Every structure is written in C-alpha cells, then in structure tokens.
A and B are shown apart, each in its own frame.
Chain A
Amino acid sequence: MARAIAQRVAVGLAVVAGVVTLTFLLLQLAPGDPVERLLGPTASPEQIELQRRALGLDRPVPAQLAGWVGRFARGDWGRSIATGRPAREMLAAAWPATAWLVALSLALTYLGGTLIGVVQAARRGSRLDTAISIVSVTLFALPGYWLGLMLVMVFASWARVLPAFGAAGLDADYLTGWARIADQLRHLALPLATLTLIGAGGTARYARGAMLDVIAEPFVVAARARGLSPARVLVRHTLRNALVPVVTLLGLSLPALFSGAVFVEAVFAWPGVGRVLVDAVQARDYPVVMAATAVSATLVVLGNLVADGLAVWVDPRIREGGRGKGEAG
C-alpha cells in the first residue's frame, strides 16, 4: 500500500517536472523576445543586452532551467514582467478561487450526475430516460463560455438576480458575517452553475452506461431472484459496482474540468489561476506563465491523487493488489 502511494506520488512529481520543462522549452522556442517587449522599440542594443543579463536570459538554456527550478524550490518565483508584482504573491491570491470553484463543481457534478444516471438506469427505455438523455447530451456539447454568457444574459441582465462577474461585490470589504458569505455565494452561483451543468451532462451519460453494464451481470439477476427489494438491488448491488468506473472517471475528468474553469474564469472575470495564466500568456509574462503552469499542473496532479485514493476506497479489489477482476464494467 505504502509502496503504491509512493509510486503514485513519484509519477505525479514526474508529470509536474515534465510540464515545467516543456513549458520552459516552449517559451525558449517561441518567436519574440520578452526583453524587447519589456523595453519597447526605443531601447538601444546595449540596454537590451544589460536587461537580458539582469534577467539571466543570456545564459545557456539548461542553466536557466536549473536556475529556475532552484529558485522555485526556495520560494523565489520571480517577478511579473508586466506588473512587477512577485509571481508567487499573484498565484497565492489566485489559487484558492480556482480550487474552490473546481472542487465544489466536481462534488456537485458527481453527486448530481450519478444520481441522474441511477434514475435513468432504473427507468431505462422510458420517456423520462430518453428526455434526460437528450438534455444531458446537449449539456455535454455546450461550450462552457457560451453557456456562461447565456446564464449571464438570463440571470444578470434580464432577471437581475445575480451578479455577472467577479468573486465579490464592490462593497465586499464593508460586509461582515453572513452578508459577506451571501455576497460570495451569489458571485459563485453562475460560474459554478456553468461548470456543473456541463460536467453533470457528461457524468450522467457515463453513470447511466456503467449502471446498465452492471445491471446485466449475473449477480444482479441472482440478487433479484433471491427476492431482494428493487431499491436494494439497485443501490447495494448495482450502484456499488457501477461506482468503480465512475470514480475512475473522476480522476480523468479533472484536467477537463480545469480546462473548463480556464474558459469560465475568462467569462466571469473569476480571479483564479486560469485567468492569471491566460493574462500572462497573452502578455508574454514569462515568470508568471512558468509559475502558473507549475501551480495548475500541481493542482491537477493532486486532484488525480485524491481520485486514485477514492477509487481504492470504493473498490476493495484494487486494495488487494489487483488480484481480482480489476474493473467492473
């Protein structure tokens, strides 16, 4: 068990290291020079040379990468070329917003999606099943930023019940206690709904399929033949086994959810890592790009580790070292 965990952590670290290296190399390969951008067209060659040396850009690429890793590990993430603020400060301010959004949406997506999938499997072939299938395949196909815009149109401009963007109102600093929490929840509502609706469509599709795979298994027929109530067969025998592939998907869907969050953050001006990354990439703010990439890769890898842990918890066969069938469905 301990060995398996250590192995997972090692793989996760390798992925983060790979992402960081790849990003670094891509930044090197890309046309355009951050120093020339920084100093503008009036800079003399000497000034450019001086600034390059000051930023360490004149050294060989492997040395630059090694230097960056060393400084990153010590907590010195460099300063934003665009704003002059320390990159670490910018990301420290941004990552909780993304983590909250993604974690809440993941929880709602999986609870809602699985529940819908179970209802559909229990009533398979009925009109309800077909209707839900149509809705979920449509939700699954909607681009997040577009659904976000539509929700803004309906709830912020027509009904005027929810704020259209940001994570807090202008007066948030003056609010205390419950009023402050209510303000935060109101700002969270639309981005969270956007991410959750899209995710739940895909999850419901998948959960329905997983349930139907298990329902056809002989042990479900046997449970029914023993005279157990339909609800018990559905929950204890079918859902329990269908959860294994669903939880496995949870880990795999994290990167997708994070991608969705990048677009949703752009629409709602949500102050998260995705927005920092998009802004930094557009401004060629290399230190911030590097730091934001490292942080987002770490968030995704951590999420995958949690999902792996959940998979073990749901499926005792994995705990036993994979001696069983391994997958149910």
Chain B
Amino acid sequence: MNGVLRDRRGQFGLVVLALALLLAGAAPLVSSGDPAGQRDVVATRFLAPGSTDAHGVFHLLGTDRLGRDVWTRLLYGARISLGVGMLAVLLSVALGTVIGALAGYGRRPVRVMLLGLTDFALALPRVVLLLLLAALWQPSAGLVIVVLGLTGWMPIARLVHGEVRALAVRPFVDAAITAGARRRRVLRRHILPNALTPVIVAAALGVGNAILLEAGLSFLGLGVQPPTPSWGNMIAGGRDTIVNAPWVATAPGVALALVVVACTLVGDAVRDAISR
C-alpha cells in the first residue's frame, strides 16, 4: 500500500477515484438534488456551462435538451456508473476466484473441465453476448451488473489458477498438509490468501473496463434506461446536439475517461508495488 501511495500514478488515480466516489456519495449536497428536475423547458434548455437561468439557478455544466442540469445528472450518473462497474467486477472476481481456485487445486478431471470452460468462455465474443443478454431481457442496472459479471470472470479465473498452482508446491503448503489440514482448509486458509494480490490489479483494471462497457450498452439503449442518468445514456442523449450543445455529451465522456484512467493507473501502481 505504501508503494502505491508513493507512486505518482497511484496518487493521481486514488485522488481521482476518491473524489469521484465522494462527489457521487454527496450528490444531493453539492448539486440541485434532482437529476430529472426540469422547469420551463423552453427557457432553460441548452444553457451554456456557467450560465444562470431565468429562475436564478446556476448551471455549472449547462443544461441538456430538457433543461436538466448537466452537473447534477453527472453526479447522479456517477452513482449508477461507478456502482454498476464495481458490483459487476465484484461478481466477476467472486466467480473467477472460485473457478480458478478449483481448477488450480482440484483433481485432474475438475481441472481439465474448468480450464476448458474458461478457455471457451474467453473465446466467445463478449460484446455479442452482452448485446443478446441486454436486449432480450428488460434492460436495467441489475441486468447490466449480472451480464458484465457473467462475461468478465475468465481472466480472473486464469490468474487465480496460475497463482494457486504455483503456491500449491511451496513448502508451507506441504507443512500444512503434514500437519493434518484437509485439502479444503489448505486451499482456503493457506493458498487463497496468498493468491489474491494480483487479483486486486486485475480488479482495478476490470472496474474501468466494466464502466466503459456499461456506458457502451447504455449508449446503445440496452443498459440503464432514461430518465435514470448513467454516463452512457447521457452521452447518447447528447449525441444529436453535439453541434449546438457539445457540453451535454462532452461532460460525461470526460468524467468517464478520468475514472477509467484512474483505475488503470491505480492498477499499474499496485502491480509495480507488488513486483518490487
């Protein structure tokens, strides 16, 4: 952890992520409090960033086509986008760890079967599956989490499998077996805790990726549904007005890029800190 804090990339990434989480958490306090709030649409639509409308309300990032405050929607959208990204990765990590651990420490038939399953799932075009799953069921944030989680566990499983196999031949594992510990206990108490560090790196990178994919699905209209704001459907909503009111699509895109860069940098910093 110290290594990550001393790394400039790590510092930047953690500050951005902390700020994003803080702002998302405190959204009602630092914004108008109502992401769907609109008044006189004709008078308040497409106001430029930094302007004040006829009702005396200040719009830091301007307003969209329905006169809704972009800054407010950005913060409430952050709740959805960050939440969906993190929960989806949590699901992939849980699935990947269980499958990878069983493949790494299980008996031969189990290993062959699970590795085969992983390689097969890895070869499937993820976006095709995402499109199918998201389009065929009623689109919602919950569905996006499940879909991203179910299609993202394979790299984690491979990673855990490799770690577990490398750890299984280490002397301390032999010592635990000699001391009479059962296989399940050896795996859970002695091997897995040591195998999880690289998973943190993969998870940090995965969160960025999941946020991007969530936004992509919402952009295509298959993810989080309006009027609930998510960064993806905000970009989609600003797409038609990119010429007259570029801020509507620009703001969520910049926010998205900042958070994903932060995730990548934190992942890099953690990886370097571990390998040092």
Contact = CB atoms under 8 A, between A and B. Distances in A.
B221 A259 contact: no
Contacts, number: 118
A289 B123 CA distance: 19
Contacts of B133: 26
Nearest to B258: A141
Contact of B235 (A11, A143, A297): A143
A301 interface: yes
Nearest to B213: A259
B215 A262 contact: no
Contacts of B208: 141
- The size class of the interface chain B forms with chain A is 35 or more
Interface string A75-91: 00000000000000000
Interface string B130-166: 0111011110000000000000000000000000000
Interface stretch (A110-118, A149-157, A188-196, A214-222): A149-157
The majority secondary structure among interface residues of chain B is: helix
B150 to A, nearest CB: 12
Contact of B243 (A30, A141, A153): A153
Interface in B85-137: 120, 123-129, 131-133, 135-137
B219 A263 contact: yes
Contact of B261 (A138, A282, A296): A138
Contacts of A32: 136
B33 interface: no
Nearest to B133: A26
A223 interface: no
12 contacts: A15-B120, A26-B133, A137-B261, A141-B256, A143-B219, A145-B216, A150-B250, A150-B253, A258-B127, A266-B219, A281-B135, A284-B136
What 4 pairs between A and B have smallest CB-CB spacing?
A30-B136, A259-B127, A141-B260, A146-B253
Interface of B: 120, 123-129, 131-133, 135-138, 208, 212, 215-216, 219-222, 232, 235, 239, 242-243, 246, 249-250, 253, 256-257, 260-261, 264-265
